[in-house]
Structure 1
Amino acid sequence: MIPPLDPVVAQIIPLLPLRDPTSMTPQSARDALRALAAARAAVPPPPVTSAEDIKVKGAAGFLAARAYRNSSDKSPTVVFFHGGGWVAGDLETHDRQARWLAIETGAVVVSVDYRRPPEVRFPGAFEDAFAAVKDVIARIAEFGGDAARVGVAGDSAGGNLAATTAIACRDAGIKLAAQLLVYPVTDVAGNFADARENARFPSRAENADGYFLTRATMEWFCGHYLEDGAHGSDWRVSPLRAKNLAGVAPAVVCTAWFDPLRDEGKGYADSLAAAGVPTRYYDGLGLIHGYFGLGETSETARREAQRARAEFKALLERNAAT
């Protein structure tokens, strides 16, 4: 029996932004996510040893980034990509998520502020993400100091960037230790507007509306990220359509049960496993898209996020032991 929606999360949904794309602009979406983060200002952020604003190399110049450290010891390094539909998130909106990742994995976490659409459309964000990972690895002594323990992580659109970057790293001969994909976007073909493509993923109909992230909002995000709808079939935006996933980094994939992205995330986990990639999947029963940001309110969300981060930590450490 599938558990119902977590009652604490049900109370939060009406307070969450980005649910009405008919009146949304890129700037209003950014402002709304920033306001949501600012609304929690009275709650002290998870304490880390340091959080330092830095620069990393993107595809067309330097990008703002933030390095979170919770230890001075040699440690793994994780390059983190924020969510927000490629359009709306930034270092501030995902500050707490990056902090928890550093605290619970023991890694140095480098959160990257990639270029966003519509100012820079696909493949800008992907190219920035890949360039940032290469730069962090080249400067690994400045971060965790262990090139054998580098991972990528991200949520939603950031999970999409982590997944596609992991494929690009494999193709470039760069060995990543692990990838953490949190309710990732994995198949953009049809831009969430094509009935035939949507029918491949029942969660797009089951959870089209009413659970924070809507299918219409995903269509809006895709419309801003992709200049040409045909780009949706490119693996650099739809990793589920990559011809070969063998040899990419071991993965932890999380979805939320009440999320239009649930089935494509599960499909990607299944495809990774079928390609021989060590993969751990968490289905987020009772939860919605965005639950990694709800752990201070919902015990269900906190426990599920902790399980995933613990598994990700184990993958990062396992690589050091081999």
Structure 2
Amino acid sequence: MSREQRNKLDEMLRRPNPAKPQTVEEMRANFAAMMATMLVPAGVRTTPTTIGNRPGVIVDPAQDTRPGIILYFHGGSYIMGSPYTAMSLTASLVDKTGIRSVSLDYRLAPEHPFPAALEDALAAYRELLDNGAQASSIVFAGDSAGGGIAVSTCLMARDAGLPMPAAVVTFSPGLDKTHSGASMDSKMGLDPFFIREGFALTDEMYLAGQDPNHELVSPARFADLTGFPPILLQAGTNELLLDDSTQFADRARAAGVDVILDVTADVPHVFQAFTGMLDEADQALDRAALFITQHLRC
């Protein structure tokens, strides 16, 4: 691990933020601009598509495509982002596994609050199954809010009587809208992205007055995970949302679910996006790619 790389990244992420409150449009534009600086593997091929009545992006490897599908859900606090803001993550998984990804452009809050994004995700999964894909050939993956969507879509699929995907991969997932984990306080100051108060605004837009004590928005605290597929949770120690992963891992183990909790020291939220800048990012994506290839049954 490179201490110098981690320190340089932390310093970069702590540059002053805008002094005045931002509009949703400004937040989206700034997030897109930041994510556009992330490195994307050369040679991957992208094709616009429609899935579940929503736009999406198919990402194919540069060389021969292996069987299987990675259904990807981007991050952005449920109010920002698109398949293109997550391209460094999606394309890296495709590049490392040789497996096609379909990245969903789900509806965003506040225009479309909970459960719109989850409904879109479930519709996308249904369409893949209806078009002949076997559940055992599909892996859900997502970062931050998208990690939460990956988990909650499994809950919805199970309750709808659909087969479970082969596995779930999450990068710094948001899994507890009650924000009750100890890391919400113990990681204050270490996290270069978030403060507790910042979640109040985005949660208000996403929940629109609905109860955070709901298994689909706080699965780390309230979900029954019986019958869940194997899950990989990757997080860094320098993030307020760390205990979203640690609490969910405990809950998964208690339900008899195969779970890997993969925590990297001194790295921030969704550190995997910083490929080419941070050795730990590439190493974590290597582990995620191995997990995916081990669990797909095509």
Same fold (TM over 0.5): yes
**d(CA) in 1 for partners of 2:64, 2:124:** 22
Give 2:209's aligned residue: 228
Q: For residue 266 of structure 2, what is the amino acid of its counterpart?
A: G
Distance 1:4 1:122, change over 3 A: farther
Report 1:39-54 matches (<5 A).
Answer: 39=37, 45-54=40-49
State yes or no: 1:313 paired with 2:293. yes
Q: For residue 182 of structure 2, what is the amino acid of its counterpart?
A: P
Give 2:7's aligned residue: 7
Give 2:91's aligned residue: 99
Q: For residue 152 of structure 2, what is the amino acid of its counterpart?
A: T
State yes or no: 1:138 paired with 2:119. no
From 55, 71, 89, the counterpart of 1:64: 55
Gaps of 5+ in 2: none
**d(CA) in 1 for partners of 2:223, 2:231:** 18
Give 1:263's aligned residue: 243
**d(CA) in 2 for partners of 1:269, 1:304:** 18
Answer yes or no: is the 8 Å Cα contact 1:5–1:286 preserved in 2. Answer: no
Give 2:218's aligned residue: 238
Give 1:153's aligned residue: 141
State yes or no: 1:127 paired with 2:119. yes
Give 2:257's aligned residue: 277
**d(CA) in 1 for partners of 2:222, 2:182:** 21
**d(CA) in 2 for partners of 1:10, 1:28:** 23
From 78, 85, 106, the counterpart of 2:77: 85
**Per-residue deviation at 1:235?**
1.2
Query: Any idea what the Cα deviations from partners look like across 1:14-51, whole Å, max 9, x if unmatched?
Result: 249xx6796122111110011113345xx6x3134521
Distance 1:4 1:285, change over 3 A: farther
From 87, 109, 123, the counterpart of 1:117: 109
SS of the residue corresponding to residue 77 of structure 1 reads: strand
**d(CA) in 2 for partners of 1:21, 1:203:** 26
Give 1:195's aligned residue: none
Q: Which moved more, 1:74-83 or 1:31-40?
A: 31-40
Query: Any idea what the Cα deviations from partners look like across 1:99-148, whole Å, max 9, x if unmatched?
Result: 011112222100000000000011111111111111122224xxxx5542
**d(CA) in 2 for partners of 1:221, 1:132:** 24
**d(CA) in 1 for partners of 2:83, 2:19:** 23
SS of the residue corresponding to residue 287 of structure 1 reads: coil
The RMSD of aligned alpha carbons is 2.3
Answer yes or no: is the 8 Å Cα contact 1:162–1:181 preserved in 2. Answer: yes
Q: For residue 65 of structure 1, what is the amino acid of its counterpart?
A: G
**Per-residue deviation at 1:216?**
2.3
Answer yes or no: is the 8 Å Cα contact 1:137–1:150 preserved in 2. Answer: no
Q: For residue 184 of structure 1, what is the amino acid of its counterpart?
A: P
Answer yes or no: is the 8 Å Cα contact 1:76–1:106 preserved in 2. Answer: no
Q: For residue 201 of structure 2, what is the amino acid of its counterpart?
A: W
Q: For residue 55 of structure 2, what is the amino acid of its counterpart?
A: A
**d(CA) in 2 for partners of 1:48, 1:272:** 37
Distance 1:80 1:98, change over 3 A: same
**TM-score normalised to structure 1 length:** 0.84
The count of corresponding residues between Structure 1 and Structure 2 is 293
Q: For residue 7 of structure 1, what is the amino acid of its counterpart?
A: N
**d(CA) in 1 for partners of 2:285, 2:194:** 18
**Per-residue deviation at 1:6?**
2.5
**d(CA) in 1 for partners of 2:87, 2:165:** 23
Give 2:167's aligned residue: 178
Distance 1:274 1:35, change over 3 A: same
Give the fraction of aligned pairs with identical amino acids, expressed as a percent.
24
State yes or no: 1:187 paired with 2:182. no
**TM-score normalised to structure 2 length:** 0.90
Distance 1:21 1:288, change over 3 A: farther
Distance 1:15 1:136, change over 3 A: farther
